[in-house]
Amino acid sequence: MKKIRLALGKRSYDIFIGAQEIKGLGRKLKALDLGTDAYILTNKLIKDKYGLLLKRVLLKEGFGCYFKLVADTEKSKSIATAAAVIKDIAGRDYKKRIFIIAFGGGVVGDLAGFVASVYKRGIPYLQVPTTLLAQVDSSIGGKTGVDLDAGKNLVGAFYQPRLVFSDIAFLKSLPLRQLKAGLAEVIKYSLIADKRLFVFLQNRYRDVLKRDPDVLKKIIYACSLIKADLVSEDEKEVLSKRTLLNFGHTLGHAIEAAGGFSLYNHGEAVALGMLSAIEMSRSLKLLKPEDARLAKRLIKLYGLPDKLKGVSLEKVINAHFHDKKFKGRKNRFVLLAAIGKAKVVSDISLDIVKEGLKSIS
Amino acid sequence: MKKIRLALGKRSYDIFIGAQEIKGLGRKLKALDLGTDAYILTNKLIKDKYGLLLKRVLLKEGFGCYFKLVADTEKSKSIATAAAVIKDIAGRDYKKRIFIIAFGGGVVGDLAGFVASVYKRGIPYLQVPTTLLAQVDSSIGGKTGVDLDAGKNLVGAFYQPRLVFSDIAFLKSLPLRQLKAGLAEVIKYSLIADKRLFVFLQNRYRDVLKRDPDVLKKIIYACSLIKADLVSEDEKEVLSKRTLLNFGHTLGHAIEAAGGFSLYNHGEAVALGMLSAIEMSRSLKLLKPEDARLAKRLIKLYGLPDKLKGVSLEKVINAHFHDKKFKGRKNRFVLLAAIGKAKVVSDISLDIVKEGLKSIS
């Protein structure tokens, strides 16, 4: 397997990327000495498909093994679900050496990480992401959280996993719409930090969409490397390093919220957010028109939405004012200075924001 | 005011100890630049007595100011209360620069710290403790948490405050039983780490119980210093430094639990736990009989309980097996090697534990 070390002092950990290598997880876990019993948070679909496989791997190394199912919807990211899971863990933790495996996509990963961060003031957990989005993004970096009515991820912690284990075998059965949602984040990485990845995504888009294993591994590795670097430089997002990962997300979150979190999934909303941010970058003369054109073209090439439908501009603009990352009343955007280069810009006029949004309406 | 710096790198903070100096809090806060709006978590009694005073101090420096009341019982340390408080904060956080003031005893402090640790993945908070127990112990060191049915503080985080402001003016109205509960922790500090404090507590017990301001300030300063040192050396209790603070607490927690958390308060249960641990130290020949006698005498001198009443030994022993700090199935106790010197001992035979408990039955 390919390995990336996310450097964070005592909280450093490895990210493994491979194909059909789940059998190796048992020994890796054994070496980490995280505990005696694995508490696997997952959903029914993943358990039915891969549960037995994971269980065998763990039992072989002598781990106890419990599965806990949560519904595979954003609704599972609630304080109520977290409380129920914590209660369940407390009931099973009689040996006092339980650890958590997040086995699923972003919902399961965020919830499991949050639960791990607060149960007994923190127990170990690892991420075994099963969606492309989770493999390239949410499983790495320790942002955990659940939602409030007032906003997504309003309750959470920065709490790093002890291992991330990305196996593309899990992507085989991923619905195309979810694969594309992950690809929106992949495109994001290329735009903010990796021109070579951008060119690769342009040239190989057919192979990507056909889920060619070597191509997928290459992509996941490239994205994980960028994320690991940014997290290791700015774990808690106090500098503006980690903020760069938010490219396309400011308006993306607003679009998701305006659509009631059902019209667009996260990746689709980010695609629309990126298109707007590219347009904003261009109209502020940060980005050359030709680069803006190429960037927009790549997003369309992957069949991601390029027009905002079923939700009004006003609603999106209103939602954007509630972004939890805005300090005081100043907005803050990540914009492009070139393909492969992003920067954080604060206090952008509403006219420019509207211009960005108009380009997708 | 006297000042102690708790050294924790970027998370270092000051502990202030004074008398009638609340007026100075506003400027200290201003200098820290924690935000624009103070969200004050407190209980009705404290708000009625000191709320207006605190409010004036904050308004004078231009802070916004909200009070949120929770019931002054351990029941407020629940996930449900935490969720309700978080929801309330989210509704008031329109300027996005809210910070929390824990204004009360241990319940308010633990709850406020936990809420601060998870809201938006962490916002600043400070501790303005109003009980002796909170001033010498729970307000310092960042252990935050709420309870589950399965055990106290099973959900929480290590999350440091940005300031601790201990004013003995708040102790004037503290009920005697609560004052004594705090004194149990004070005695603990002297036994584990400060022989001079021990002698002082012996000589001045009348002045202590009369709440002589200079004596109280001296005591709070001495205890805060010990705690700050141990926390700064071992923030997350992975070495056995911070564990020393648990002297009297292993059986103390078990006694509290066996009494349904109503028969004995925390300090009283710790007093009984210390008496048992002293006896255990003596019977293991770690502690000289004469030191054991003096240590026990001090606890009685302060009018703390010295006999377990209304709860059976069996119940206490059963409860002690559920201690969340035991790893695997090994127990772990803090015992005394001398007055002013403690050590951690694991895997103590049940006979010795019973001997300790018998000495208080």
Confidence at residue A325, expressed as pLDDT on a 0 to 100 scale: 67
Confidence at residue B327, expressed as pLDDT on a 0 to 100 scale: 60
Q: Is the pLDDT of residue A44 over 80?
A: yes
Q: Distance of alpha carbon A77 from its chain centroid, rounded?
A: 14
Q: Which residues of A are catalytic?
A: 121, 143, 185, 227, 237, 242, 246, 249, 253, 266
Give how far B118 is from chain A: nearest CA, Å: 5
Q: Shortest CB distance from A327 goes to which of B86, B96, B329?
A: B96
Whether the CA torsion A135, A140, A146, A149 is positive or negative: it is negative
Q: Shortest CB distance from B91 goes to which of A83, A118, A150?
A: A150
User: Which of A78, A79, A92, A121 should be substituted to probe chain B, the one whose Cβ sees the most B Cβ atoms within 10 Å?
Assistant: A121
Q: Shortest CB distance from B121 goes to which of A79, A96, A156?
A: A156
Confidence at residue B331, expressed as pLDDT on a 0 to 100 scale: 86
Q: HSE of A31 in the Cβ direction (CA atoms, 13 Å)?
A: 8
CA neighbor of A211 nearest in space, from A241, A163, A175, A249: A175
What distance in Å separates the CA atoms of residue B100 and residue B117, rounded to the nearest whole number? Answer: 10
The angle at the Cα of B97, spanning A352 to A154, to the nearest 5 degrees, equals 85
The residue with greater pLDDT, A244 or B262, is: A244
The angle at the Cα of B271, spanning B268 to B272, to the nearest 5 degrees, equals 95
Fold observed for domain B2-171: Rossmann fold (3.40.50)
Confidence at residue B239, expressed as pLDDT on a 0 to 100 scale: 87
Give how far A255 is from chain B: nearest CA, Å: 20
Give how far A153 is from chain B: nearest CA, Å: 7
pLDDT in tens, A176-235: 999 999 999 999 999 999 999 999 999 999 999 999 999 999 999 999 999 999 999 999
Tell me the pLDDT band of A152, cut-offs 50, 70 and 90. confident
Tell me if B120 and A149 make a contact (CB, 8 A cut-off). no
Confidence at residue B301, expressed as pLDDT on a 0 to 100 scale: 97
Q: Is the pLDDT of residue A328 over 70?
A: no
Confidence at residue A288, expressed as pLDDT on a 0 to 100 scale: 98
Mean pLDDT in consecutive groups of 10 residues from the start of chain B, 361 residues? 96 97 95 96 97 97 96 93 96 88 98 97 97 98 93 93 98 96 98 98 98 98 98 92 95 91 93 98 97 98 95 89 68 96 94 95 92
Confidence at residue B246, expressed as pLDDT on a 0 to 100 scale: 95
Confidence at residue B149, expressed as pLDDT on a 0 to 100 scale: 84
Give how far B325 is from chain A: nearest CA, Å: 8
Q: Which residues of B are catalytic?
A: 121, 143, 185, 227, 237, 242, 246, 249, 253, 266
Tell me if A324 and B96 make a contact (CB, 8 A cut-off). yes
Instruction: Classify the phi-psi angles of B142: left when phi > 0, otherwise alpha if psi is within -120 to 50, otherwise beta.
Output: left
Confidence at residue A107, expressed as pLDDT on a 0 to 100 scale: 96
Q: Shortest CB distance from B326 goes to which of A96, A143, A329?
A: A96
CATH C-level class of B176-358: mainly alpha
Using a CB–CB cut-off of 8 Å, the residues of B that contact A are: 36, 79-80, 83, 86-87, 90-91, 95-97, 114, 117-122, 143, 145, 148-151, 153-158, 236, 324, 326-329
The angle at the Cα of B196, spanning B143 to B245, to the nearest 5 degrees, equals 20
Q: Is CATH 3.40.50.1970 the classification given to domain A2-173?
A: yes
Using a CB–CB cut-off of 8 Å, the residues of A that contact B are: 36, 79-80, 83, 86-87, 90-91, 95-97, 114, 117-122, 143, 145, 148-151, 153-158, 236, 324, 326-329
Sorted by where each begins, the domain ranges of chain B are: 2-171, 176-358
Nearest CA in chain A to B157: A121
Tell me the whole-structure pTM to 2 decimals. 0.93
Tell me if B327 and A97 make a contact (CB, 8 A cut-off). yes
Name the percent of chain A lying above pLDDT 90: 89
